[in-house]
Amino acid sequence: MTPTPEKTTRRNFLFGLGIAINAIAVALFAIPIVGYILSPARRFTWLDWIPLGPLTDYPEHQTRLAEYVNPFKKAWDGETAKIPCWVRRMTGDEFQVFAINCTHLGCPVRWFAESELFMCPCHGGVFYSDGRHASGPPPRPLYQYKYKVEAGNLWIYAGELPTLGKPEV
Amino acid sequence: MIEALKSVGRWLDARLQVGSTIAEVAEHPVPRSSASWWYVFGSATLVVFILQVVTGICLATVYTPAADRAWDSLIYLNYQQPLGWYLRALHGWGSNFMVALMFIHMIQVFLFGAYKFPRELTWVAGCVLLLCTLGMAFTGQVLRFDQNAYWGLGIGASIAGRTPIIGFKVVDLILGGPIIAGETLSRFFALHVFVIPALLIGFVGLHLFLVLRLGINEWPMPGRIVRRDTYLQQYQELVHADGEPFMPFAAQKDLVFAGLIIIGLLVVAAVAGPIGPNGQPDPTIIQTVPRPDFFFLWLFSLFALLPPWTETFLMLTGPVAVIGLLFALPFLSGTGEKSWRRRPFSVVIVILTVTIVGTLTWLGTFSPWSPVMDAWSAAPTPVDYVKGRTPLELQGALLVQSKQCRNCHSLGGHGGMRGPALDDTATRLTRDQIVRQIIQGGGNMPAYGKNLSPAEVNAIVAFLITMHPRGEPPARDSARPGVPASRN
């Protein structure tokens, strides 16, 4: 038997066409799926100015817990839309607004006014009152929000969970 | 009656054509030596997985995967839904059982050399099942949408955020947005009930198919070497010369063990009850001490104990390396000795891994590196330490409490373990050394120079100088031998 040369017959042409059409169709189908799944990463920043209340809420030389509602919240976020932060007022309009998240692995740091330290309950990170690293594993000072004072109100520029990948919240 | 059933059976088999396949599977010969109590853990893992599917579907009929309702629906399940507490307990403890059985199965397979030729892909499929099972455990912990879930997600996001360049994008992808919120929970729900279970079912199928096709691993005998060119024939000779049909010879032990496991799970779930949820997932409640579930505690400990400068590198490359090694194992040592008696290195690996993971888990249960957040206000100063002290020393004792020293330093066994206990400070440090340590910090202690007035430091030191056990003199400055210990 001599090997028959590859010839395009009706039958195998249709089969090839079928494979080609399906390959194109699957590729087209993948576009919306992948786009949908990746959509949270399409936006570069999630930041907005958020009011934190009147300056009178924040006595000078003190650090107070404040909370705000995330500006990008969804109706079904519930309590998770609320985000706490630490507001340290030095004098006048001079502030430091720290994210609640430890720079090690994101656990909520707690302020101890008597020893003037932030302590983290997870892996023992400790920070000084100005956010500097005092001890434990955190690789950098506490994350700080940009702030501004307008018409007697404190505003911060926030909306994202700060991580080492994007610390300049 | 029997005759009628048999005729129904014949009618069905004439159309389904599965009878011969089932018989083939049931009667396939297994080595007599493999019908051992060591070979029951894989099937038991599968049985618990099937239970997880059943209880999971039941829970999904009530659980609400929305961030604003999930916690409420868990509380409803625990306290109002009839038997909801028991279903939650079965599912939660079932997950613990499944992870534990899977690891025992894995250790057994490793020690018995069962991953060697020709069963390399059975091991690889098993590794996928391992990852899926741990994925189910983590995502399941997220669905128990409480404070631990919320901050656990924060830890996950913080690790992902350390990825170079694209870290913040990865965080957004994992969380489904800029913060931990509604879409985060929905994403993990989709993973936990659709994506990972589908993978699990598929790979369980492949795993079992391969076990049937290639035959169960024979009991490893020292000196019986696996060679690619002879093994298949040797195995066939073995199962025919010294084999038994799988059913009932080997299956009976699987059956007994699986039944005992199910009953054990039913009892444990009834006695221990549902796992959580703890506090509601409100991030503004910061009086929380987040901890992962038991089987991730060792990782939690590792993150506390790794030297900080290695951390980012190890967090990102460590899992890839470990998983890569697991997958590569059968290709690195696919032939040779199977018996653990001739593979001391493998035995050492198992002992080391179990010891390390066990120790880290044990450390994680009390996490000595974390400050005890309420020790300063909750733990009393031992009475002995204030008896007969001067007013200045008492003032110091008070400051040790009020300045939160005890969050990291214990007195009388109560308080943090981050720093050394203060009960015998005076035997280790002289007066000057204590002053220096308090003011400048160091050795993982913050510097208190700015937070304490000289009078306060003076009082604390006066108190600490008295802290030495009876009969054990305080430390002396060897450069000033004439000065009594209390003054140096």
Tell me the pLDDT tens digit for each residue of A102-121.
Answer: 999 999 999 999 999 999 99
pLDDT of residue B242: 87
Question: Are B167 and A76 within 8 A, CB to CB?
Answer: no
Does some domain include residue A28?
A: yes
Interval B98-111 mean pLDDT: 97
Question: Are residues A34 and A55 both part of a single domain?
Answer: no
pLDDT of residue A5: 57
Domain housing A53: 48-158
pLDDT of residue B182: 95
Binding-face residues of A in 83-142 toward B, CB within 8 A: 83-84, 100-101, 104-110, 112, 114-117, 119-124, 126, 128, 134-139
**What b/e sequence results for B72-107 when a residue is b if at least 16 CB atoms lie within 10 Å of its CB, and e otherwise?**
ebbeebbeebeebbbbbbbbbbbbbbbbbbbbbbbe
Question: Are residues A59 and A89 both part of a single domain?
Answer: yes
Does some domain include residue A163?
A: no
Instruction: Give B171's contacts in chain A (Cβ within 8 Å).
Output: 161, 163, 165-166
In DSSP terms, which residues pair with B336 in a beta bridge? B226
Instruction: Give B184's contacts in chain A (Cβ within 8 Å).
Output: 80
Does some domain include residue A1?
A: no
- Residues A132 and B128: beta-carbon distance below 8 Å: no
Question: Are residues A93 and A35 both part of a single domain?
Answer: no
* Residue contacts between A and B (CB atoms, under 8 Å): 212
Question: Are residues A144 and A79 both part of a single domain?
Answer: yes
Of residues A72, A123, A139, nearest to B369 (C-beta):
A123
CA distance A114 to chain B (A): 5
B403-456, pLDDT tens digit by residue?
A: 999 999 999 999 999 999 999 999 999 999 999 999 999 888 999 988 899 999
Question: Are residues A35 and A89 both part of a single domain?
Answer: no
> Contacts by B324-331 with C-beta closer than 8 Å and gap 24+?
B326/B127, B326/B130, B327/B124, B327/B127, B329/B110, B329/B115, B329/B123, B330/B115, B330/B116, B330/B117, B330/B119, B330/B120, B330/B123, B330/B124, B331/B120
In DSSP terms, which residues pair with B407 in a beta bridge? none
Does some domain include residue A108?
A: yes
Question: Are residues A29 and A71 both part of a single domain?
Answer: no
Domain of A87: which CATH number?
2.102.10.10
* pLDDT(B487) > 70: no
Does some domain include residue A169?
A: no
B335-388, pLDDT tens digit by residue?
A: 999 999 999 999 999 999 999 999 999 999 999 999 999 999 999 999 999 999
Question: Are residues A54 and A28 both part of a single domain?
Answer: no
B442 touches A at CB < 8 Å: no
3-state secondary structure of B52: helix
CA distance A18 to chain B (A): 27
Binding-face residues of B in 163-222 toward A, CB within 8 A: 163, 166-173, 175-184
Question: Are residues A20 and A83 both part of a single domain?
Answer: no
Per-residue confidence band for A2, with pLDDT thresholds at 50, 70 and 90 = low
Rg of the Cα trace of chain B? 30
For chain B, the straight-line distance linking the first and the last C-alpha, in angstroms and rounded, comes to 100
* pLDDT(B285) > 50: yes
Of residues B66, B303, B369, nearest to A105 (C-beta):
B303
Q: Measure the CA–CA gap between A73 and A81, rounded to whole angstroms.
A: 6
CA distance B421 to chain A (A): 16
Question: Are A137 and B311 within 8 A, CB to CB?
Answer: yes
B398 touches A at CB < 8 Å: no
Interval B61-84 mean pLDDT: 97
Question: Are residues A106 and A36 both part of a single domain?
Answer: no
B453 touches A at CB < 8 Å: no
Per-residue confidence band for B488, with pLDDT thresholds at 50, 70 and 90 = very low
3-state secondary structure of B469: coil
Interval B300-323 mean pLDDT: 94
Question: Are residues A139 and A118 both part of a single domain?
Answer: yes
Question: Are residues A32 and A89 both part of a single domain?
Answer: no
B287 Cβ partners below 8 Å, 6+ apart? A110, B373
Of residues B154, B180, B183, nearest to A107 (C-beta):
B154
pLDDT of residue B358: 96
pLDDT of residue B474: 85
Interval B61-68 mean pLDDT: 96
Does some domain include residue A93?
A: yes
B210-219, pLDDT tens digit by residue?
A: 999 999 999 9
| ipTM > 0.90 (yes/no) | yes
Return the beta strands (E) in B121-226 as ranges.
225-226
B8-32, pLDDT tens digit by residue?
A: 999 999 999 998 888 988 888 899 8
Question: Are B161 and A46 within 8 A, CB to CB?
Answer: no
Does some domain include residue A3?
A: no
Of residues B158, B311, B450, nearest to A163 (C-beta):
B158
Domains of chain B: 27-366 (1.20.810.10), 375-464 (1.10.760.10)
pLDDT of residue A169: 60
Binding-face residues of B in 286-315 toward A, CB within 8 A: 286-290, 300, 303-304, 306, 308, 311-312
> Nearest to residue B461, comparing CAs of B412, B395, B407, B417?
B395
Interval B327-342 mean pLDDT: 94
Q: Measure the CA–CA gap between B199 and B192, rounded to whole angstroms.
A: 11
Instruction: Give B147's contacts in chain A (Cβ within 8 Å).
Output: none
Please give the torsion angle defined by the CA atoms of residues B196, B64, A121 and B317, in that order, rounded to the nearest 10 degrees.
20
By residue count, chain B amounts to 488
Best probe of the A interface among B69, B159, B172, by most A CBs < 10 A, is B172
- Tokens 């409640």 label which residue? B285
pLDDT cut 70: percent of chain B above it:
98
Which amino acid type is present at position B44? A
* pLDDT(A4) > 60: no
Question: Are B369 and A65 within 8 A, CB to CB?
Answer: no
Domain count, chain A: 2
- Residues A94 and A61: beta-carbon distance below 8 Å: no
Binding-face residues of A in 36-75 toward B, CB within 8 A: 37-38, 40-41, 43, 46, 65, 67, 70, 72-74
Question: Are B290 and A119 within 8 A, CB to CB?
Answer: no
Question: Are residues A72 and A154 both part of a single domain?
Answer: yes
Question: Are A121 and B373 within 8 A, CB to CB?
Answer: yes
Does some domain include residue A91?
A: yes
